[in-house]
Structure 1
Amino acid sequence: MDWQRLDRWLKGTRLWRLLLLGLAIFGLCALLPGCSTLDRLRLENFRVEAADVPQLVSPVVGEPKTFNYFLSDESSSSDVLGFMYEGLVTVDRTTSEIVPALAESWTISEDGLTITYVLKENLQWSDGAPLTVDDVVFTYNDIILNPEIPTDTIDILRIGAEGKLPEITKLDERRVQFKIPEPFAPFLRVTGIAILPKHALEESVRTKDSNGQPLYLSTWGTNTDPSEIVCNGPYVIKDFLPGERIVFKRNPHYWRQGEDGEPQPFIEEMVWPVVSSQDAEFVRFRSGESDIMAVTPDNFSLIKQDEEQGGYTVYNGGPTTTRLFLTFNLNKGSIGGEPVVDPIKSRWFNTLEFRQAVAYAIDRETMLNNIFKGLGEMQNSQIAPQSPYSAEPNLPSYDFNIVKAKELLLSAGFSYEGDRLVDAEGNRVRFTLQTNVGNEIREAAGAQIKQNLALIGITVDFQPIDFNKLITLIGDSLKWDAIVLGFGAGEEPNSSANLWLADGGLHFFNQQPQDRPPLPGREVYPWEQQISDLYVQAAQELDEAERKALYTETQELVQENLPFIHLVGQYSMSAVRDKIENVKYTALGGTLWNIYELKITQN
């Protein structure tokens, strides 16, 4: 122990305040079942560490599986990596305007097929090495477009019906050129993809392991020494203890500067304690141990009433961009000769009338009032309402109607034995519904769906599981029945193209794994292929009215065929300590999208 540091602390008053606060927190934790003994111990650990430098503390439920940007496929990793890496451009989340990041400027040819970027001068990586055009070319050509590296990112670069890819060429030390084979409306926005360091990763890309795969595929896992991970974003990883915490520190070579030339970001460190549940996140915020908390309908009233006394502000950004939905596994394929879905269940899931009946049987109005406390809205589209391409409210919807649900089931050959639904072969209709444990909204929605479907004779085995296990089911084994999940949608629908392209990397309701040959028995429905084709056409269309018409058609097809049964979306809300300055909260960016200009004022 550093006894001199301890002596300095004891001579001040801050330690006493922390100790007294600790007793209060421990008592509050003891009263809440969601806050475990381990959570309480973590609170004490963070309190002592927080005494060194001003920190922004923001607990998270869940943690990353990798620190390798292009191998990450879950939101927890994406949130972390978003602070570590930047691309050529970024988006101002208050205006949705595309603005420079690593590039200082760009020019687009008259035919729209060539974009030339000029990098900022004197860019550096977090280890001090120069960041150059070579890094840009390496990121695109050697990683994203490398057929030996499975990354979903490639899907958003595919252009046209044939999925052609751009050509990236170095012109000189500061200029890089992108050539695309045909018009592609969202291409400028797409180049916000993170740039990775050639000098740190080139060898891992070119060197193969004993199985003939690039070493890159096992590089920068969560067991990597944080000092070895080279970044270009505002923060680098200082410390990571699985199940405990993620600590960021300011990237000393980040390119942004304040008005007076001071280095940005202004906040030196961020701490993300890993907590077991939203209850534990709530405890931390109420006790003063964290600075930011996502506000849910369950805690809104209590948080809002103490807003002034607690020294924080509750921001409401309006409808969330996240789409909350129920989806069934429509995959008829097999892996190793074994169907990924029980054939009996698969017949149910792939019957349109079955999916429509389930949609009618879910009481979304009750869900909105009871689970969301009225703080949200019913969703009917895969495109966020903030997007100019959203077709809501002029889309088909499925209002609660048990009579209609039962009529659809009977018309599709199902029948009733007493109050139990059976199929035409006499099989009792029963399936497993999963979501990620710790997300109280999704857990409550799943529990209500179980109750609602019992009204039409369907037995649902509801099973919240660990988020990373859920991701593994979706992306690897493919063995799942039904899932309640959410995905983030932005202003540009093409950013979700890999979810809707028939062979997209995230087309999980009928997944074709990118690292496997075509699954025997997998079928793509005509409506499914039509949605895929429309996404391709919309990305090619430069006329905004025509683009909107194409995306409207995709939304209508999704609602008619229900690969997703859309549920309810809450308002995007967050509580932020008043000591955090320059907050520009939006539903699209949240609290930390402009982290580089946030400041902490000392009380």
Structure 2
Amino acid sequence: MPRKTLMTLAIATVIAVGGAAFAQPKVVSYPGLGMEPGTVGGTLTLSLADSPPTFMYYGQIDNNTQTLTGVVFDSLVEFNLETYAIEPALAASWDVSADGTVYTFHLREGVKWHDGTPFTSADVVFTYTQIITNPEARAGDAAQFIYTVDGEQRAVTFDAPDDNTVVITLPAPSAAFLLQQRFPMMPKHKLLAYSVEGGAAQAEINNAWSTDTPLSEVVGTGPYKYDSYVAGQKVGLVRNADYWKVDTNGTSLPYAERLDYLVVRGNEAQAAQFLAGNLDTLNISGAQFPDFKSREVAGADFRVITSPALFGSPPHVAFNFDDPTFGAWFSDVAFRRAMEQAVDRQRIIDDVYNGLAEIPGTPTAPADGTFYEDTKSLMLPFDLAAAGAALDALGITDTDGNGVRNVPGGKDLEFSLTYNVDSGTFTDMATIFQNDFAKIGVKANLVGVSGSALLGTGLAGDYQAIIIALGNQPDPELRKPIWQPGGSLYYWHRATQPAEPGGAPNFDAMATWERRVYDIFDQGTTLVDQDARVALYKEWQRLNAVNAPVIMVAKPANIAAVHDRVGNYVYNLGVIPGYNPVPLYYVK
């Protein structure tokens, strides 16, 4: 017999009023976060760092598109905002077979797309089979649904026995499977023509919903609907009055009648817009904290909020293992460990983040007590003399007396260091790195690119060294595309990636430690024993620390400024699927 896995929330049945069927509601309440029932009405004005390149979440990895997707689309399951536990969303409940391989999702009844079309199991199966597992979808996750069992690769299958039921069958049990299923669901009736099922090539899905698409075509099931778009200026959204979430008073969410996302590039410009009253909330950096806090203390009409960063994005420095000039050195752990000693983490924490950060020691968040392994003792401290000596030992010395070290063969060790020019934090960080590297005879030429182009630059391999921040999530399995060699976001060693989308990774290109990391993530997918999974992922964190595929820099705190007119504010990165407090914000 299957074991029943139901979240005990206040979920009502379908009701009918005047002949119109309403969606099966989900009652949400987070008193532990200081949230209270709000009132419907008003406009909230938020910010985007740049214009979205597409409205199609799976067509491109982009923070701006992800932020908008979070308020327009829903997933089968979502995070509890307070406990981070997985609970029902578009799936009202689910059953799991006794052997842990068959998940039967019972969809929330009465949910409709923004154009009035019913949301059904056909949409769910379509989203998984035609988009998420499509190896050509730029922001898909095909690898997650291929399991290695007894040395063979086997695929997850998806079935829809009726309109309200989805059955997902795994080749083997997976402890993190539910946690992973926070993918935004997409409308089959709008996207069929861009899919293989509809006769298109696999890559065509990336062309769906370009920014010149009529907004009436871009429909979700989420709390807001697209209303207007002016490139480089603003994205407007209006409240979905038929949304399926309600508060404890029975008031339908979301509260705000309208969301306006202003496109404001750069930290300083965003701060100016907030201080002028043109933005209601703003995520700020440690460098901005003293100014904002002093204004709050002096009686400004906003408050500054700080909190530990579970989902935060710790920056790191990566060297391109595949660089045609210096790849042989960048891929050498001895070189990376030498350069690690030229990274002054404490200065960056003190001077760039104003102390509102910590040394991370690992890609896993310290706030995540389950998987976090404190590897700070395995990291090499800032020591320019030791860094220079380590480079000497590699034969990288200044042979021509020009102040820049030469690699064997005579070429100056001079490379580009790419960073987000829109971020004052990253700009300051890059300058510190450049100056400290110069002190040991390493010349770094700063190359600033827009924040919206930074990750794409890394994924294209169009850099030599780069500063990037990639977020944490509660289970390392969720970061598999980043940290498993051959993963779609394992951008510093692209030679490990499959020759063809969806194929096997290039094991021959992996170092011994990389192959071990690959196996850890592969085994972690199908292990059910949580203690065994924790042991594996802690081993990975130790391997990460001593091999330094990237040099972890700092783990900043979450800091936000919020105008007093905004109620129920909870810090929101905006890009974490299944974590969306915005529908609960209200205008006082």
Deviation at 1:290, TM superposition (A): 1.1
Please tell me whether the aligned partners of residues 133 and 145 of structure 2 are also in contact (alpha carbons under 8 angstroms).
no
1:551 partner amino acid? Y
Match of 2:216 in 1: 227
Asked if the contact 1:245–1:273 (Cα under 8 Å) also holds between the matched residues in 2, the reply is: yes
- The 5 A counterparts of 1:436-475 are 436-475=420-459
Question: Judging changes above 3 Å, is the alpha-carbon distance between structure 1 residues 215 and 345 closer, same or farther for their aligned structure 2 residues?
Answer: closer
* Structure 2 counterpart of 1:355: 336
* Cα pair distance change 1:160/1:253, threshold 3 Å: farther
SS, match of residue 306 in structure 1: helix
The structure in which a higher percent of residues are helix is: 1
> Which residue of structure 1 aligns with residue 367 of structure 2?
386
Aligned partner of 1:324 among 315, 324, 329: 315
Offset of residue 575 of structure 1? 1.1
1:86 is matched by which residue type in structure 2?
D
The amino acid of 2:549's aligned partner reads P
For residues 20-419 of structure 1, the aligned pairs below 5 Å read 54-147=42-135, 149-160=137-148, 162-205=152-195, 206-207=197-198, 215-307=204-296, 309-319=299-309, 321-331=312-322, 341-342=323-324, 344-387=325-368, 388-393=370-375, 395-417=377-399, 418=401, 419=403
**Aligned twin of 2:585:** 598
2: distance between equivalents of 1:520 and 1:535?
Answer: 16
Distance in structure 2 (CA, Å) of the matches to 1:573 and 1:319 = 9
What's the Cα RMSD here?
Answer: 2.4
- Unaligned 5+ segments in structure 2 are 1-40
Is structure 2 residue 511 aligned with structure 1 residue 528?
no
Please give the secondary structure, in 2, of the residue aligned with 1:203: helix
2: CA distance between counterparts of 1:152 and 1:408? 41
1:326 is aligned with what amino acid? V
- AA of the residue aligned to 1:176: V
Match of 2:477 in 1: 494
Q: Would you say the 8 A contact 1:55–1:269 is kept in 2?
A: yes
CA–CA distance in structure 2, aligned partners of residues 356 and 137 of structure 1: 46
Aligned to 2:20: none
Query: For residue 477 of structure 2, what is the amino acid of its counterpart?
Result: N
Give the aligned residue type for 1:407: A
AA paired with 1:583? Y
Is 1:395–1:555's contact at 8 Å kept on the other side of the alignment?
no
Q: Whole-Å Cα distance in 1 between the matches of residues 283 and 121 of structure 2?
A: 38
1:505/1:514 contact within 8 Å kept: no
Residue 174 of structure 2: SS of its match in structure 1?
Answer: coil
User: Structure 1 residues 390, 378: CA separation in 2 closer, same or farther (over 3 Å shift)?
Assistant: same
Aligned identity (percent) is 25
- Distance in 2, matches of 1:177 and 1:535, equals 25
Q: State the distance in 2 between where 1:571 and 1:259 align.
A: 31
Q: What do residues 34-54 of structure 1 show as CA deviations (whole Å, max 9, x unaligned)? A: xxxxxxxxxxxxxxxxxxx72
SS in 1 for 2:398: strand
Question: Is residue 2:556 matched to residue 1:575?
Answer: no
CA distance in 1, matches of 2:380, 2:126: 48
Matched letter for residue 126 of structure 1: H
Question: What SS is found at the alignment partner of 2:365?
Answer: coil
Aligned 8 A contact 2:60 2:206 in 1? no
Deviations 1:133-159 (A, max 9, x none): 111111112222235545432233333
Verify the 8 A CA contact 1:395 1:556 in the aligned structure 2.
no
1:541: Cα distance to partner?
A: 1.9
TM-superposed CA distance for 1:171, in Å, is 2.2
Are the equivalent residues in 2 in contact too, given 1:292–1:574 (CA < 8 A)? Answer: yes
Specify the code of the residue in structure 2 equivalent to 1:179. T
Q: What is the alpha-carbon distance in structure 2 between the residues aligned to residue 523 and residue 252 of structure 1?
A: 53
CA contact (8 A) 1:318 1:587 kept: no
C-alpha offsets along residues 540-590 of structure 1, whole Å, 9 cap, x if unaligned? Answer: 222222211111111111111111100012211111122211223478999
Contact 1:226–1:238 (CA<8 Å) still a contact in 2?
Answer: yes
8 A contact 1:395–1:559 mirrored in 2: no
What is the DSSP-based 3-state SS (H/G/I as helix, E as strand, rest coil) of the residue aligned with 1:454? helix
**C-alpha contact (below 8 Å) 1:126/1:252 kept by paired residues:** no
Aligned length: 536
- 1:251-310 C-alpha deviation (Å, 9 max, x unpaired): 233221233443310111111111121111111111111110112122211211222522
What stretches of structure 1 move > 6 A for 4+ residues in a row?
A: 516-522, 586-592
Q: Choose from 493, 496, 518 the match for 1:510.
A: 493
1:152-198: CA deviations, max 9, x gaps? 32233333365533111112221111110111111011122111111
Whole-angstrom CA distance in 2 between matches of 1:451 and 1:149? 40
Structure 2 Cα separation of the partners of residues 319 and 144 of structure 1: 28
Equivalent residue, structure 2, for 1:424: 408
Write the deviation string for residues 470-506 of structure 1: whole angstroms up to 9, x where unpaired: 3333234x22111101011111111110112222111
* DSSP 3-state at the match of 1:538: helix
**Cα pair 2:159 2:168 within 8 Å, conserved:** yes
Query: Structure 1 residues 556, 75: CA separation in 2 closer, same or farther (over 3 Å shift)?
Result: same
- Measured in 1, the distance between the counterparts of 2:270 and 2:316 equals 24
Distance verdict in 2 for CA 1:521–1:493, change over 3 Å: closer
Counterpart Cα distance in 2 of 1:91 and 1:441: 29
Cα distance in 2 between the residues matched to 1:74 and 1:359: 29
Amino acid at match of 2:317: L
Q: Work out whether residues 152 and 504 of structure 1, in 8 Å CA contact, stay in contact via their aligned partners in 2.
A: no
